[in-house]
A and B are shown apart, each in its own frame.
Chain A
């Protein structure tokens, strides 16, 4: 008994030691989320916390502090200041504004804190963006639609909130793709404010106005609403429309054999950002500096795509999860390591 204890202690020390040689320092990371209106955000934070937990296996303690509440921009700036006072090593933020954080991020950098934005890009030169390229996200759905329609047909688009940066980038993405297919006619574009019920309503109106629609480009939760209208109208077989990534929808998609394809904005983006942050805090250097995007500070993550070919896999990944759970993916520690020298 005693012997085995000693042995295991030795083994533990050895493991700890070998881990120590690769990773030196424990880190404290602050997560800030300024809007708590959807399950996606909750899942985002939960996955980031789980990712932090995983670092224990590497012998490094990643402590996570979370500030998540419905706040306005000054309120989220207060989040950042609290983290500065707390003395965190890094801040990962899903920002409420693209530009308003420039001054406070400058202060954070002065205090030696690494700042990473995720899910929405920021203009600050003192921060890094780790997340998906919203424009490419929009383009991926449009590419699928164009291919499915064999480059020909009448298409409508249902968008989120007009003027919202992510929405504008997604719109730019599909416009660019459709412009490359002269036989695809974009007959109308409407806004349904990322609201499932409004998406359903908008689709009903569109179906009534344009009986000859072949394709629909629609984002996020609105897709479930739009598909409801399509199914109610009995047009499931004749219309191809983009979909979304929550389990409820994936189940309907599988059951009713919808002709759909969905770009994935995985809630795991914050977990990926966290893994990148921890590696950077270990003093590792990126192979390629993050210089993408309109603000030249972005590192874009791959955007998974679900269509008929891998729908079964997605459904399997979501098995046993609650209906609101989103299909997700994130950089594991090993994936993230590959980005570094």
Chain B
């Protein structure tokens, strides 16, 4: 309606619209920058090298789990067992490291076994949801209880220590650069490679419309199982980070992370209905949660209000993201 009076505007608007459509994580990125500035404002030291390293160490696992969750959500599914997989892999890895002794080779073997565990869990989820056609939300809720039960069977009490070599490496430095930064770089490369694979595209296509995807000849069941398998593998990677950071096994360590991982995906601008989103957004979403948690403390929230304010802040970030995205695309 304003076309005639302002011919220049629609064009710039559509350019903006295109940018936001191309990078659905832009609103999240803006929120993240705001949060970083606020953190720096209230506690300059939180943005120091040590502060940032600590933040990455703390939230790397959540970033990985958010990415894990993204692949499932791409296809319009959901994984409520992601956190339970983290716990299971954590106790498997720590258990084997403790049993085989803590030298370099056995650590690598235990990690390999952890990856296999994650993959197996993902495959179970995929088969239950995609092949047996159970509702994803209920089926993965059930498998989450099953995986937690397995973890509790393997290690009934939190506490078995991980070998010193393992956590000293994870928490230490190589060539004066903290080890986690290497992990971040490897993680980034892995994501770039995965974005270019056919699986990502196919997952999004399935999420966009299962029927259409099936009619155009995609192996929908296999693609969805693939999404869950990828989720399991990334959940295992998240478990490695938790293990490195906590240096011990805990059969319940990941339980609370599941919903945070879903929140991170949504904060990052991906659609829960599937077919639309980015892994970068999910990583940003996880960072938003991390920065909110620390900001709540740095602004000096009284202890009895900390949970409440944290919840409100996440809600606000969600709303802001949705509003900014909608406004820009409208």
- What is the interface of chain A, defined by CB distance below 8 A to chain B? 33, 36, 42, 45, 65-75, 77-79, 81-82, 84-87, 97-104, 106-107, 111, 123, 162-165
Q: A68-B306, A69-B307 are in contact. Are A82 and B246 (CB under 8 A)?
A: no
A123 B161 Cβ-Cβ under 8 A: yes
- With A68-B306, A81-B55, A103-B171 already in contact, the answer to whether A98 and B158 are too (CB < 8 A) is yes
Interface residues of B in 21-66 (CB under 8 A from A): 43, 45-46, 48, 50-51, 54-55, 57-59, 61-62
Among residues 137 to 173 in chain B, which have CB atoms less than 8 Å away from a CB atom of chain A? 156-161, 167, 170-171
Contact A74 B242 (CB under 8 A): yes
Considering the chains assembled together, what is the distance between the CA atoms of A97 and B159 in angstroms? Answer: 7
Q: Which residues of A contact B250 (CB under 8 A)?
A: 73, 97, 100
Give the complex CA separation of A87 and B161 in angstroms.
28
Residue of B nearest to A104 (CB): B245
Q: What's the Cα separation between A103 and B57 when bound, in Å?
A: 11
Write the nearest CB–CB distance from B324 to chain A, whole angstroms: 27
In the complex, which residues of chain B have a beta carbon less than 8 angstroms from the beta carbon of A70?
Answer: 307
Q: Which residue of the partner chain A has the closest CB to B157? A: A163
Question: Given A74-B253, A85-B45, A87-B45, are A102 and B310 neighbors across the interface (CB < 8 Å)?
Answer: no
Which secondary structure dominates where chain B touches chain A?
helix
B167 touches A85 (CB 8 A): no
Query: Which residues in B have some Cβ–Cβ distance to A below 8 Å?
Result: 43, 45-46, 48, 50-51, 54-55, 57-59, 61-62, 156-161, 167, 170-171, 242, 244-248, 250, 252-253, 255-257, 290, 293-294, 297-298, 302-304, 306-307, 310
Interfacial chain B residues near A106, Cβ < 8 Å: 171
In the complex, how many residue pairs between chain A and chain B have their CB atoms under 8 Å apart?
118
Cβ-defined contact, B248 with A102, below 8 A: yes
Contact B46 A85 (CB under 8 A): yes
**Complex Cα–Cα for A163 and B242 (A):** 21
> Which 10 residue pairs across A and B have the least CB separation, nearest first?
A100-B246, A99-B248, A68-B303, A163-B157, A81-B54, A66-B303, A85-B46, A85-B51, A72-B256, A69-B306
B242: which A residues are within 8 A, CB to CB? 74
Q: Which residues of B contact A36 (CB under 8 A)?
A: 307
Contacts of B303 in A (CB 8 A): 33, 45, 66-69
Known: A97-B250, A102-B247, A106-B171. A165 touches B54 (CB 8 A): no
Name the B residues within 8 Å of A100 (CB-CB): 158, 246-248, 250, 253
Q: Are B245 and A77 in contact (CB under 8 A)?
A: yes
Distance from B102 Cβ to chain A, minimum over Cβ atoms (Å): 14
* Chain B residue contacts of A99, Cβ below 8 A: 158-161, 246-248
Give the residue of B45, B245, B255 whose beta carbon is less than 8 angstroms from that of A72.
B255
Partner among B46, B246, B294, B302 whose Cβ is within 8 Å of the Cβ of A97: B246
Contact with A74, one of B50, B54, B171, B246 (Cβ below 8 angstroms): B246
5 contacts between A and B (CB under 8 A): A82-B46, A85-B54, A85-B298, A86-B297, A104-B245
B58 touches A74 (CB 8 A): yes
A71 CA to B307 CA in the complex, in Å?
Answer: 9
Tell me the bound Cα distance from A84 to B156 in angstroms. Answer: 32
Contacting A85 at CB < 8 Å: which of B157, B159, B256, B294?
B294
B58 touches A73 (CB 8 A): no
Known A72-B255, A103-B247; contact A67-B306, beta-carbon cutoff 8 A? yes
A78-B293, A85-B294, A103-B167 known; A73+B246 contact, CB < 8 A: yes
Q: Are B256 and A68 in contact (CB under 8 A)?
A: no
User: Considering the chains assembled together, what is the distance between the CA atoms of A65 and B61 in angstroms?
Assistant: 27
